[in-house]
Structure 1
Amino acid sequence: MCASYGLDPRFTDSDDLLDSAEQAVLDALRTWADRNAGETVRPTGRNLRNLNPILLDDAGSTAVEPAWWGFLVDGQPARFPSINTRSERLQERPGSLRSRALVPATGWYELKKPERVWHEFGLDGGGLFGMAAVTQRGRTDDGEWYTCYSIVMRPAPAHLVGIHDRMPVLIPTAFAQDWLRAQGDRELIDEALLAAASLDERVVAVPRADDKGTDRLF
């Protein structure tokens, strides 16, 4: 599953995230990434407010909102795994697709076992891309409400499965608006998986010499 991911402020204004993305969206992402330079995104701990940018539909426009990775239940981080959601589960229970987001990133990190070597995955060229996510509202024990998100995961393609057997559902530009705005049903997740497969040949992975994404996450 997606152990960690990052957003490098040096990303280029490519078309891999949104078609003709508004400059304000890109500027907001760069501002967040600049403030967190050199750090990967981590699941928010009980005593942290590690909010990360996601893209949401706002009455037909794309909005950037800081959000909490993983679900909050009764004022606390969920006791069940919630930073990732299997695409198969959404196919079985499409009701969870009612509220969705795109998670902007330039790479994600997985541990190859049994060697315990971390690998960074991304699109060729190092461009900005969007990962599919489902969202819901949640509050912390001090009463603050947040949008919470869970990254949608799918089986990895053949050339990556030797490193890790799952990967995020990457949403290509042509399907981004559908993911954010279409009706949430079984057909939507099926179409998202087909669209994501069109990017498979562009996904590359490289081993990392540092401990990016390691046990510090939890």
Structure 2
Amino acid sequence: MCASYGLDPRFTDAELLAEADAEILAGLRDWAQQNDGETLRPTGKNLRNLNPLIVSGDGEAALEAAWWGYLVDGQPAKFPSINTRSERLQQRPGGLRTRAIVPTTGWFEMRKPERVWHEFTLGKGVLFGMAAVAQRGRTPDGEWVTCYSIVMRPAPEHLAELHDRMPVLIPTAFAHDWLNAEADREIIDEALLAAASLDERVTATARETDAAAKGDADQLF
């Protein structure tokens, strides 16, 4: 389960969109600087943060602030919704109607039973994208926002000893298709194949348990 990730404003290499949009990158850097290095975590009753999300607006990539996790009847969903299994989307492709990309410089997972946090990246300072599915939801304040859930897949062998699952990463060349292609079984199958091309680049670094990495998802809702 991915329950936290980072967005370092010092990112130097952007592997997010095939044609890097200067406005989107500037918006991400500005948001990350204002976030002051805080870890991005699910939105819920204890945290009302909105996180940057890349969506498709008339076929063009756009940046907007979004709620991590689903909203149901004006309240955070009572079922787990911050992550969605790729296998479920393969079985029920209707959940792929609206898709998005989550920009990040690394996500965090705890290795058990040692309870040691690790940060997973594509390299120091590299900005990349994680696949997400999205839907509209009404906040407790009555506002309508985009809600998102990060798509997860089984981890490759060299990472599985640290954590058995990982986000579906979206290579730059596949970003447009992920955002705009028809919602069917084929698009999630293609996403998994594209994500596998990045497997060997993913590395994990142990880090001290601190405010940037710790946090139990059960405490966020």
Same fold judged by TM-score > 0.5?
Answer: yes
SS of equivalent to 1:67: strand
Write the letter of the residue equivalent to 2:4: S
SS of equivalent to 2:113: coil
**In the alignment, which residue of structure 1 is the partner of 2:105?**
106
- Mapping of residues 106-185 of structure 1, within 5 Å: 106-185=105-184
Alpha-carbon distance in 1 for matches of 2:125, 2:145: 30
Write the letter of the residue equivalent to 2:19: S
Alpha-carbon distance in 2 for matches of 1:62, 1:215: 31
**In the alignment, which residue of structure 1 is the partner of 2:215?**
215
Deviations 1:106-145 (A, max 9, x none): 0000010000011000102430000000000001222111
Alpha-carbon distance in 1 for matches of 2:174, 2:189: 12
Deviates more, 1:151-160 or 1:133-142: 133-142
SS of equivalent to 2:160: coil
Alpha-carbon distance in 2 for matches of 1:188, 1:210: 37
C-alpha displacement of 1:13: 4.1
**In the alignment, which residue of structure 2 is the partner of 1:9?**
9
CA contact (8 A) 1:107 1:120 kept: yes
Alpha-carbon distance in 2 for matches of 1:197, 1:130: 14
**In the alignment, which residue of structure 2 is the partner of 1:204?**
203
**Count of residue correspondences:** 217
Alpha-carbon distance in 1 for matches of 2:85, 2:216: 23
Alpha-carbon distance in 1 for matches of 2:19, 2:204: 27
Alpha-carbon distance in 2 for matches of 1:76, 1:25: 30
C-alpha displacement of 1:36: 0.6
Deviations 1:168-211 (A, max 9, x none): 00000110000000001100000000000000000000011133
C-alpha displacement of 1:19: 1.6
RMSD after superposition: 1.1
CA contact (8 A) 1:72 1:139 kept: yes
SS of equivalent to 1:88: helix
Structure 1 unaligned blocks of 5 or more: none
Identity value in percent: 71
Alpha-carbon distance in 1 for matches of 2:80, 2:25: 30
CA contact (8 A) 1:3 1:213 kept: no
Write the letter of the residue equivalent to 1:19: A
C-alpha displacement of 1:3: 1.9
Q: What TM-score do the two structures reach when normalised by structure 2? A: 0.95
Q: What TM-score do the two structures reach when normalised by structure 1? A: 0.96
Alpha-carbon distance in 2 for matches of 1:127, 1:73: 35
Deviates more, 1:5-14 or 1:160-169: 5-14
SS of equivalent to 1:160: helix
